[in-house]
Chains A and B, each alone.
Chain A
Amino acid sequence: MRRISRRAAHYIRDELLKRERFIVVALDSRQKIQSVNRSTPDWKLPGLIRGSILPDSLSSLVDTASGTAEPMVFSYVELNGFFVDIHVLGDADSADLVIHDVTQAHEAEQTLQQRAHEISLLSEQRAALNAELADLNQELFQRRRQAEQASAAKSRFIASMSHEFRSPISSIMGYADLLKAELPGSENPRALQRASWHLLTLVENLLEQAREGDENVKLNPGRFSLDRLVDDIEVLFRTQSEAKGLDFEVKSAPGGIDIECDELRLRQILINLVSNAIRYTQKGRVSVQFRLRDNKLQVRVRDTGRGIAPGDLEDIFKPFTRVGQGNAPGTGLGLTITRQLVQRMGGQLSVQSEPGSGSEFRFVIPCSMVKNDHVSMPPLSGSVLWVDDDPDILALYQVVLENWGLTVSVANSITQAKELIARQDFPLIVTDVHLTDGNGLELFRSLRTEKPDISGIIISGSGVTDMETEAAGNGIRAFLQKPIDAELLYNEIAAVFEGGSPDHVV
């Protein structure tokens, strides 16, 4: 403001004094109060008494301002419940304190500041929570990755165990087949087969339990004769049930039909249910009835055993639970796995039971049905290379294939197989998927350019794998699972040497 008249200056001062409250304190060099002047007589602050020493708080302000040529203003100083601006005007000899009541302005600004700070604190909390959430997400991600790695390791372990178990069992079953041909009428090879199927089912039960929750487990559907399956079930269990003095009956209708589903798992289900029925029936009969209708296989397994109490009907499907069965042998996994398998195959398993009268387990699974046209196995001719690191399997299938009229070469590794292939042409190579020096599929991949006409069959002991898609482009016509179904194997080989594909290959 430029120079104004004394009259105007007085007017402004008077107006200011009407609106605002001031206290002016005059101090000497020792901060002793020389005078106290109030713009409003009723506004008093304690400690401001003429002749006394300035209170500590105000004294500290004066000290802070000392040495400054210009007046120093301390804004929003809290003083006895008031908020004041304190202007310190002074020199070495004296000082004036102009105390201005700004309580109302402080309140307004403080409210705004308070809100701003609260918002800022909330924002910080949100940021901290977000950071925590991000950490948790990261941790979850890590744990999920670890879980996936563990799951993958578990899957690899199961696949490996499955292969390890199935290979020798497959070998036993194959040799039992050979013995059956060599010793017609003997029960011994059948006993071998029976024990092998039981062993395989027990192993598969355990592996199935380990696979629980693994959504990547695939079914391995294939076409097979229901009559043969029914016959096998009868042969497998007749001796066992007769040994206990039980009547054992297996019925099937209609006959002469091929069905398509996962044969190994269907056998597993049947063996679990029938062996349970025989195990828990002390007298009377066990019957198994197969019915095919509308592309569905319905099986009933009835027994006249002790039955199951109504309250226990659901518990029997819990793993490692064996309701009221005393010391009866078994792992306690059979029914759990059976229901799991039926559900995995798209079917349903139910049970009806009456204590003292027996039980009936019934399951229905979808399967396509085709009238079978099985032919005899006429002799074949041609050269086949069989690759497997299990010498028993090599020896077995060398005999089996030679019995079919084929010329068989064997190799126990990919390296050895390549050496043989370099010297001789093989229209067909049958190889195990897991070999000591690599993967069976790799062998076909490496031959793809030089020998594009070679057909391949891969034998897997660990179920169908993700290789299936890639296999199609490498000349591989089939994946067969251990234990190898001789008829399926014959059909696949026959298709190669007859230059076509049989109408009932897998």
Chain B
Amino acid sequence: MKSAKVCMVGAFGVGKTSLVRRFVHQQFDERYQTTLGVKIDTRIIDTIAEPIKLVLWDMEGADPFETDKRPLARIKSYLKGAHGLILAVDGTRPATVKTALGLYHDFCREHRHVPAIMLANKADLTAEWRFDDSIIPDSLSVYQTSALTGQNIETAFTALGATLSEP
């Protein structure tokens, strides 16, 4: 079976761990727990082409204002060999879009081009929603997701999986 390393990157606190947990374990935990390092999970999905095993690297969040550059260095080193990227942003925090795009552009400069999608998470917080897609490249598909309700998560991961399963 084909296997693909998919890295979930983005600013801290956007819900990367929750998105992976919702997708892999169908669970949600309201407590915010900062991820330090990486957690690797897998899930097999069916696609039109063939089933594919997604090896999901839930990476620690990037903090562009962090003076300690080790976490960012870790993130960048872990991205090596990724087959796909999921850029997670918080739809209530516009600055997280810039952070995710920064990571994406850095990746594109240093590695071969790989399929990527953006998840604008916390879509359930409609009153605080301030997502602005004007700076997002057209080539990047954006899904408004909610790890709390599960909104669009299967759709987004499956879409990326389908792209990755293509020969």
Task: Give the residue among A74, A113, A128 with the most B Cβ atoms within 10 A.
Answer: A113
Tell me if A114 counts as interface (CB < 8 A to partner B).
Answer: yes
* A56 close to B40 (CB less than 8 A): yes
A74-B78, A121-B13 as given contacts; A64 in contact with B40, CB under 8 Å: no
Tell whether, in the assembled complex, residue B55 and residue A78 are in contact, meaning their CB atoms are under 8 Å apart.
no
**Shortest CB distance A3–B (Å):** 29
Contact across chains for A60 and B65 when beta carbons are under 8 A apart: no
Residue numbers in B under 8 Å from A121 (CB-CB)? 13, 32
Q: Is the CB of A76 closer than 8 A to any CB of chain B? A: yes
Q: Contact at A106–B37, with CB atoms within 8 Å?
A: yes
Is A354 in the interface zone, CB < 8 Å from B? no
B161 to chain A: closest CB distance in Å?
Answer: 15
Question: In whole angstroms, how far apart are the Cα atoms of A124 and B42 in the complex?
Answer: 33
**Smallest beta-carbon distance B95→chain A, Å:** 7
Residue A72 CB within 8 A of the other chain:
yes
Residue of A nearest to B33 (CB): A114
Q: Contacts A56-B3, A56-B42, A120-B12 hold; do A64 and B36 have CB atoms under 8 A apart?
A: no
CB contact under 8 A between A117 and B63, given known A72-B77, A109-B36: yes
Contact B36 A120 (CB under 8 A): no
Residues of B within 8 A of A117 (CB): 12-13, 32, 34, 61, 63
* Distance A114 CA – B13 CA, assembled complex (angstroms): 10
Tell yes or no: A426 within 8 A of B by CB: no
User: Cβ of A75: which chain B residues have Cβ within 8 Å of it?
Assistant: 37, 74
The docked-state distance in angstroms from the alpha carbon of A19 to that of B149 is 45
- B36 and A77 form a contact (CB under 8 A): no
Interface size for chain B: under 10, 10 to 19, 20 to 34, or 35 or more residues?
Answer: 20 to 34
Q: Which residue of A lies closest to B5 (CB)?
A: A60
> In the complex, are the beta carbons of B34 and A113 less than 8 A apart?
yes
B81: chain A residues at CB < 8 Å are: 63-64, 66
B40-A77 in contact (CB<8A): yes
Which residues of B in the span 116-152 have a Cβ within 8 Å of any Cβ on A? 130
Q: Which residues of B contact A56 (CB under 8 A)?
A: 3, 40, 42, 53, 55
Q: Are A64 and B37 in contact (CB under 8 A)?
A: no
Do residues B12 and A78 form an inter-chain contact, with CB atoms below 8 A? no
CA distance in complex: A364, B11 (Å):
73
Task: Provide the residues of chain B in CB contact with A60, threshold 8 Å.
Answer: 5, 40, 55, 57
Contacts of B60 on A, CB cut-off 8 Å?
A: 76
Give the CA-CA distance A114 to B33 in the complex, in Å.
Answer: 7
Interface string of A412-442 (1 = CB under 8 A from B): 0000000000000000000000000000000
Give the residue of B5, B38, B65, B93 whose beta carbon is less than 8 angstroms from that of A63.
Answer: B5
In the docked arrangement, what's the CA distance between A121 and B74, Å?
Answer: 22
Interface string of B64-93 (1 = CB under 8 A from A): 011000000010011011000000000001
The answer for the CA separation of A110 and B36 in the assembled complex, in Å, is 6
Which residue of B has the minimal Cβ distance to A73? B77
A469 in contact (CB, < 8 A) = no
**In the assembly, what is the distance between CA of A60 and CA of B97, in Å?**
28
CA distance A157 to B78 in the complex (A): 72
Q: Does A247 contact B (CB under 8 A)?
A: no
* CA–CA, A75 and B5, complex, Å: 18
Provide the bound-state CA to CA distance between A116 and B95, in Å.
17
Residues 46 to 76 of chain A near chain B (Cβ within 8 Å): 56-57, 60-61, 63-64, 66, 72, 74-76
Q: Are A76 and B5 in contact (CB under 8 A)?
A: no
Give complex CA distance A201, B160 in Å: 80
Q: Sorted from nearest, which 5 A-B pairs have the closest CB atoms? A: A76-B37, A57-B40, A78-B39, A114-B34, A110-B36
